[in-house]
Amino acid sequence: MSTQTDGPAAERRLGEDLLVVDGLQKHFPIRRGLLQRQVGAVQAVDGLTFSVRRGETLSLVGESGCGKTTTGRLLTRLIEPTGGRIQLDGRDISHLSTSDMRPLRRDVQMIFQDPYSSLNPRHTVGTIVGAPFRLQKVQTENGVKKAVQDLLELVGLNPEHYNRYPHEFSGGQRQRIGIARTLALRPKLIVADEPVSALDVSIQAQVVNLLEDLQNEFDLTYVMIAHDLSVVRHVSDRVAVMYLGKIMEIADRTSLYERPMHPYTVALLSAVPIPDTSRRERRERIRLQGDVPSPINPPSGCRFHTRCWKAQEVCKTTEPALVELAPGHQAACHFPENAA
Ligand SMILES: Nc1ncnc2c1ncn2[C@@H]1O[C@H](COP(=O)(O)OP(=O)(O)O)[C@@H](O)[C@H]1O
Ligand code: SF4
Ligand SMILES: [Mg+2]
């Protein structure tokens, strides 16, 4: 997919598609009774189609329960899709067996939301960051210890702290440890699942900036997951807004933030502080009400209709297709905002 951007991507010179996702689906079966008969399914991810170019940052944004983490786990093949296809670097990885996945484990890495539970408390930082080398049996020029110390330095940690344990570090430092581990094998794609939302607001920007610096240095491709549009604003090249397992809107950063078309995006943006007071007033009127409905039995037609202030009869009966309404800007809505 070619898109126009005036974000950081324009400066970074994006390559060809690295990741191509087509109709991606994950339904978790719900089983009941002695025979464990399937009585339904959690439609966590329900037909995602998008691509990410080499060197690009695509952000996935939506409220809790929209299927972002499930998408991240599918892309890194921690779980297997129920339907659809994932291609990495031209290779179909949707249903690779565990043994075929081994080389893939180097190429695709995930940074987890919680830097507390994703690091083994009984292992030293050296063991944690060096684990990928051992697991993948990778030879390092001057030994694993030196490689680990280089990585610690790279993420802004003291390389002398090699023998310390996770609890001796702050939350931000622990997330840096996680990032160092992720970088060990020079992955092509990093999926970062809300990498800063468990951290103090005061240090969120530092970690986001670190990820951005590392991207520039190593030409990394990111899928960045966030529940809040403000966190990813300046690091995203493109943003996909998810709701109940589907993409509601996808566009380059500038179009999405300045000319949002989907009412859900508009509502999410109303939670983002903006300096312009006249616009703020307008946005406050459309603050989101209630919670995300259950993905076991999602609303008919447009999945957002139970919470949308623009909903009409047609929204309950007919699902709007995700279509391009401006160059590089797709939205799934019968009554989009800001459309030509
Ligand atoms: N292993 C699982 N089994 C059943 N349901 C799951 C599983 N993992 C996630 N879900 C459900 O799928 C939906 C999407 O979850 P998730 O991908 O974690 O969303 P998000 O990261 O956007 O909060 C939620 O309703 C969640 O309860
Ligand atoms: S299709 Fe209807 S309910 Fe869905 S977002 Fe658009 S206006 Fe709202
Ligand atoms: Mg999540």
Residue with CA nearest ligand 1 atom 17: 67
How many angstroms does the Cα of residue 144 sit away from the middle of ligand 3? 33
Residue with CA nearest ligand 2 atom 1: 333
Neighbours of 220 (CB within 10 A): 22
How many angstroms does the Cα of residue 180 sit away from the middle of ligand 3? 21
Ligand 2 atom closest to the CA of 310, numbered from 1: 7
Kindly indicate the confidence band of residue 5, based on its pLDDT and cuts at 50, 70 and 90: very low
Whether the predicted model's global pTM rises above the 0.95 cut: no
Which residues, judged by CB distance below 6 Å to any ligand atom, belong to the binding site of ligand 2? 262-263, 302, 304-305, 308, 310-311, 315, 320, 333-335
How many angstroms does the Cα of residue 199 sit away from the middle of ligand 3? 15
Any atom of ligand 1 within 6 Å of the Cβ of 28: yes
CB neighbours of 29 closer than 8 A, spacing ≥ 6? 38, 40, 41
pLDDT by residue (tens digit) across 266-285? 999 987 665 555 554 454 55
Report whether 4 contacts 327 (CB < 8 A).
Answer: yes
Residue 250 has pLDDT above 50, yes or no: yes
What residue ranges define each of the domains in the chain, with the CATH number in brackets? Answer: 9-107+187-331 (3.40.50.300)
Residue with CA nearest ligand 1 atom 11: 44
Mean pLDDT, the chain, integer: 90
Residue with CA nearest ligand 1 atom 12: 44
How many angstroms does the Cα of residue 169 sit away from the middle of ligand 1? 30
pLDDT score for 135:
84
Ligand showing the shortest atom-to-Cα distance for residue 44 = 1
pLDDT score for 8:
55
pLDDT by residue (tens digit) across 58-112? 999 999 999 999 999 999 999 999 999 999 999 999 999 888 888 888 999 999 9
Ligand 1 atom closest to the CA of 73, numbered from 1: 17
Any atom of ligand 1 within 6 Å of the Cβ of 330: no
pLDDT average, residue stretch 306-332: 97
Residue 288 has pLDDT above 50, yes or no: yes
Residue 27 has pLDDT above 90, yes or no: yes
Q: Name which of 48-57, 273-282, 319-328 the model is least confident about.
A: 273-282
Kindly indicate the confidence band of residue 2, based on its pLDDT and cuts at 50, 70 and 90: very low
- Using H for helix, E for strand and C for coil, what is the string for the chain? CCCCCCCHHHHHCCCCEEEEEEEEEEEEEEEECCCCEEEEEEEEEEEEEEEEECCCEEEEECCCCCCHHHHHHHHCCCCCCCEEEEEECCEECCCCCHHHHCCHHHHEEEECCCCCCCCCCCCCHHHHHHHHHHHCCCCCCCHHHHHHHHHHHHCCCCHHHHHCCHHHCCHHHHHHHHHHHHHCCCCCEEEEECCCCCCCHHHHHHHHHHHHHHHHHHCCEEEEEECCCCCCCCCCCEEEEEECCEEEEEEEHHHHHHCCCCHHHHHHHHCCCCCCHHHHHHHHCCCCCCCCCCCCCCCCCCCCCCCCCCCCHHHHHCCCCCEEEECCEEECCCCCCCCC
**Mutation test residue for ligand 1: of 25, 27, 28, the one with most atoms within 8 Å of CB:** 28
Residue with CA nearest ligand 1 atom 26: 65
